[in-house]
Amino acid sequence: MEKHFTDSRVKGVSTGTTILAAVFDGGVVIGSDSRASIGGEYVSSKTINKVIQVHDRIFCCMAGSLADAQAVTKTAKFQLSFHSIQMESPPLVISAASVLKQLCYNNKEELQAGFITAGWDKKKGPQVYVVSLGGMMISQPVTIGGSGSTYIYGYVDAKYKVNMTREECLQFATNALALAMGRDNVSGGVANLVVITKEGVEHIVIPGDKLPRFSDE
């Protein structure tokens, strides 16, 4: 009789990471941890940036194989800037997500990467899209991903409310990342957050010792 040994490395195809994005009233927060690991045993980078800018007001977070994710985002960035020039206007967030989706769906056999795309555009305001492993694209007000995300499903379900203020949403995202990094051994380092609004983009980095602590630590 086979026994099941849960191994966070093998569950789904998530690599060590925690990524999230959440819509608030007037903008969107997208964030991640900063640890890259090999097989869950060696931390190859403590300060890797997983939040990639694909256009002025559109960012994306990657989960899965980092090599695949970097290749895909580079291609998507190019295609999106070309599209933006042709249309003579900034691209829509859904366009960015669709570009990623096309790449993920058409190459689903070779790729092992999922994305969260978040941004602001004139047509629909702040939006979050998730493109999962096989190439499904779906829009959600809040979404989490990566191996560390399993530990914060309950927290996110309980705590997220629509139309939060910017400060509430930042606090929510910071807490969620801190909780995930506290439980997942392949997520860690600093919390990288990006706040995207109509006015612009703000990068916030919270080092490990400044992250919120919870009672059991």
- The residues of the shown chain that bind another protein, judged by CB under 8 A, are 1, 3-4, 140-142, 150-162, 175-176, 179-180, 182-183, 214-216
Which of 42, 60, 41 minimizes the C-alpha distance to 51?
60
The dihedral region occupied by 146, where left means phi > 0, alpha psi between -120 and 50, and beta the remainder, is left
CB of 154 to another protein, least distance (A): 4
DSSP for residue 165: -
Residue 99 vs 181, nearer CB to another protein: 181
Tell me whether residue 17 is one of the annotated catalytic residues. yes
**Vertex 20, ends 211 and 130: CA angle to 5°?**
175
CB of 29 to another protein, least distance (A): 15
DSSP for residue 135: S
CB of 21 to another protein, least distance (A): 12
> Could you say which of 6, 15, 17, 150 is catalytic?
17
In 3-state terms, what secondary structure has residue 186?
Answer: coil
Residue 27 vs 91, nearer CB to another protein: 27
Catalytic residues: 17
